[in-house]
Amino acid sequence: MPLLPILQQPSLAEVSDIQWNEPKRKKTSLANLADDFTRAFQQTQWGVNGRVQPRFFDDKFVFRDPDVTTNGLQEYSKGTGAVLSNCKADAIDVTVKEPKQFAIRWRIAGTANVPFPGLKIKPYIVTSTFTVNDDGLVDSETDSFSIPTWDLLLSAIAPWWPGLAEPTPPLTSPYA
């Protein structure tokens, strides 16, 4: 067993059980894709556990957030499953941004495994902007956070520090 749990393969994502070769989704309207995608995101929680549904994605999917970039859907899946644990994602809304983008706003709460395992993160809002290719598949995701990463980290280790942002209150997803 590795000295640091983050170095082992993610057990939560169970990436070996994902049907990587499942048929890709047929192209639909962007609004239909955005709605179906958001419902699947909420149901599977892949934004926090890595259990993606490959039918929605181009295999060369690229992910970016303020701290990380991954290339390839399997790398995204493995990385998400390794970095986060015991997290919950609650989709708040989805907005279509013509011609080839949509954005999901969602609340994350739970535990991170970086910079060290078991780091409780205060709940915050993530805005995930997805681009769609000509085949109607999601080919990239760019995330932005309602709270800066430094605030999230400092809140986890020194929650009494003055001037830190308040956690986002609990909510019930309309996509649940």
Q: What is the pLDDT along the chain (176 residues), one digit of tens a residue?
A: 333 333 333 444 467 789 999 999 999 999 999 999 999 999 999 999 999 999 999 999 999 999 899 999 999 999 998 888 889 999 999 999 989 999 999 999 999 888 788 889 999 999 999 999 999 999 999 999 999 999 999 999 999 999 999 999 999 999 98
Task: Specify if 165 maps to a domain.
Answer: no
Give the CATH number of the domain where residue 85 resides: 3.10.450.50
Structure tokens, 103:
């954005």
Task: Specify if 169 maps to a domain.
Answer: no
Task: Specify if 166 maps to a domain.
Answer: no
What is the domain extent for residue 68?
5-157
Task: Specify if 34 maps to a domain.
Answer: yes
Residue 47's identity, in one-letter code, is: G
Q: How many domains does the chain have?
A: 1
Task: Specify if 120 maps to a domain.
Answer: yes
- Report the DSSP beta bridge partners of residue 70: 63
Task: Specify if 174 maps to a domain.
Answer: no
Q: Which residue do the tokens 């009494």 mark?
A: 160
| N-to-C CA span, the chain | 37
The reported pTM is 0.89
Angle, CA 29 vertex, CA 176 and CA 70 arms, to 5°: 70
Structure tokens, 109:
């709460």
